[in-house]
Amino acid sequence: MSVDLSPSPGFNLIFGKNGSGKTSLLESIHVLSVGRSFRTHKIAPLVNTEESELLVFSNIAGFEHGGIGLTKSRQGRTELRAFGENQKNWQHVAELLPLQVINTDSLALLEGPAKGRRRFLDWAMFHVEHSFLSSWRAYRRAVTQRNALLRQIKEAGDRPYGREFLSQIEIWEKEAASHGEAIHFGRNEFLETLRPVLLETLENLMPGFQLDFDYKRGWEDEIGLLEAMSVSRARDIRYGMTMSGPHRGDFTLTMPGRGKVSEVFSRGQLKLMVCSLKLAVGRLLYRTHSTDELRQSDNCIYLVDDLAAELDRENQRKVLSLLAATGAQCFLTAIDPADLPDFRQICSSEPGKFHVEHGKIHPA
């Protein structure tokens, strides 16, 4: 089964009954951008039961020749092409298609484990700070090598390990510490830049709320990362992994005098907070790239699944107004168009409107 879609450069409403395929359309855009769904890391659920593979292709505004195409098979074979050239990874495509997802699962950004917040932060760093990716790759390589040595020592049990073995660990610790410190400073600087943009965005959705960032870098504040790795080496050997570094970092949002927003906000307030975070990061991304003549057209793409969940009509309108102000391309789902405010009263360009039924999509 194939589906063709010519979306508006602004708002696009995808509506239809439950199970009709609305979210699958958003998934296809997400898979093309980052290589996986926002609902599952498995391939099989993404492929039609009657097919052996999936194919997603998209033209990109501003690029006249070719587009981006992705093929994934049930057996795990993946082929990614951009403008006629095979891609070894998703770096180039992710740069071309930066996107944010807003759905009911997005609340995990505030309520869930630190891994999701690190992923969100690193996504922003990847798009805003061009040196981040090389630092992160070098850091991960050094930590992987150190972990392998730690596990070898652990498996050796009580048998002593020689100076040469220790020297190898120290080499990788120095490498990891150098890049890990750079990642930390970059994250810290980014959060300082994000804070005023977030507060400005939040003021439009939840006037009067004050927020603080509580950023944890992933090791003790009083010492450097190299010293932290040295001090924790015996513990790390027991666990067989490196327990200090930016891969253990986290950030939380707190209200002065009240604690974490995840503990004091209602579900609706948490969703507005998540929307504020993702819109603020999108604004920073656009500001960064708009200074580059080659990237002036860049903006986030927003995939908004079931905005009406947890939000009343007035708050839906506020979020949609902020999305419209970004000038970003947005794909929003609803069971019925009446579930959301009228886009034509919010956005300047004519919105796209598509009805999904039994996996088929038609302009409405």
Tens digits of residue pLDDT in 335-360: 999 999 999 889 878 899 999 988 78
130: phi then psi, degrees, rounded to nearest 5: -65, -25
Higher pLDDT, 358 or 206: 206
Q: Quick count: other Cβ atoms within 10 Å of Cβ 313? A: 11
- Among 136-140, 225-229, 300-304, 325-329, the range scoring the smallest mean pLDDT is 325-329
pTM of the model as a whole: 0.91
What are the tokens at 77? 């074979």
Q: What dihedral do alpha carbons 190, 191, 194, 195 form, nearest 10°?
A: -150
Kindly tell me if the per-residue pLDDT of 318 is higher than 80: yes
pLDDT of the residue at 295: 43
- Among 106-115, 126-135, 296-305, the range scoring the smallest mean pLDDT is 296-305
What are the tokens at 250? 């986290």
pLDDT of the residue at 339: 93
Q: In this structure, is residue 148 part of a structural domain?
A: yes
- The CATH number of whichever domain residue 266 belongs to comes to 1.20.1050.90
> What is the domain range of residue 118?
106-298
CA distance 353 to 13: 5
pLDDT tens digits along 58-79: 998 878 777 999 999 988 899 9
The total of structural domains in the chain comes to: 1
State the first-to-last Cα distance of the chain, in angstroms, to the nearest integer.
20
pLDDT of the residue at 28: 92
Among the listed residues 332, 303, 305, 321, the one whose alpha carbon sits nearest the alpha carbon of residue 99: 303
pLDDT tens digits along 209-253: 889 989 999 999 999 999 999 999 999 999 999 999 999 999 999
What are the tokens at 47? 């492929």
Over range 319-334, report the average pLDDT.
94
What are the tokens at 120? 């969100």
- Which residue shows structure tokens 């009954």? 17
Consecutive H or E run containing 183: helix 163-205
- Residue type for position 276: S
Contact 251, 214 (CB under 8 A): yes
Contact 177, 210 (CB under 8 A): no
Q: In this structure, is residue 263 part of a structural domain?
A: yes
List b or e across 90-113, with b for residues whose CB sees 16 or more CB atoms inside 10 angstroms: beebbbbbbbbbbbeebbebbbee
pLDDT of the residue at 336: 94
pLDDT tens digits along 38-62: 888 787 778 887 888 999 999 988 7
Kindly tell me if the per-residue pLDDT of 36 is higher than 60: yes
Classify the C-alpha dihedral 316-319-325-329 as positive or negative. Answer: negative
CA distance 295 to 288: 9
CA 7 to chain centre: 23
Q: In this structure, is residue 252 part of a structural domain?
A: yes
pLDDT of the residue at 288: 65
DSSP state of 62: T
pLDDT tens digits along 186-205: 999 999 999 999 999 999 99
Q: Which long-range contacts (CB under 8 A, 24 or more apart) does 268-271 make?
A: 268/310, 268/311, 268/312, 268/315, 269/206, 270/107, 270/110, 270/111, 270/310, 271/106, 271/107, 271/309, 271/310, 271/311
Q: In this structure, is residue 202 part of a structural domain?
A: yes
Q: In this structure, is residue 334 part of a structural domain?
A: no
pLDDT tens digits along 256-314: 988 999 999 999 999 999 999 999 999 988 776 554 444 434 589 999 999 999 999 99
- Residue type for position 295: R
Q: In this structure, is residue 346 part of a structural domain?
A: no
Q: In this structure, is residue 330 part of a structural domain?
A: no
Average pLDDT over the chain, rounded to whole?
90
DSSP state of 97: S
CA distance 242 to 235: 9
Strands 212-216 and 250-255 come out as antiparallel
- Which residue shows structure tokens 């302009």? 363
Q: In this structure, is residue 250 part of a structural domain?
A: yes
CA distance 197 to 280: 6
Among the listed residues 118, 140, 119, 136, the one whose alpha carbon sits nearest the alpha carbon of residue 215: 118
pLDDT of the residue at 293: 42
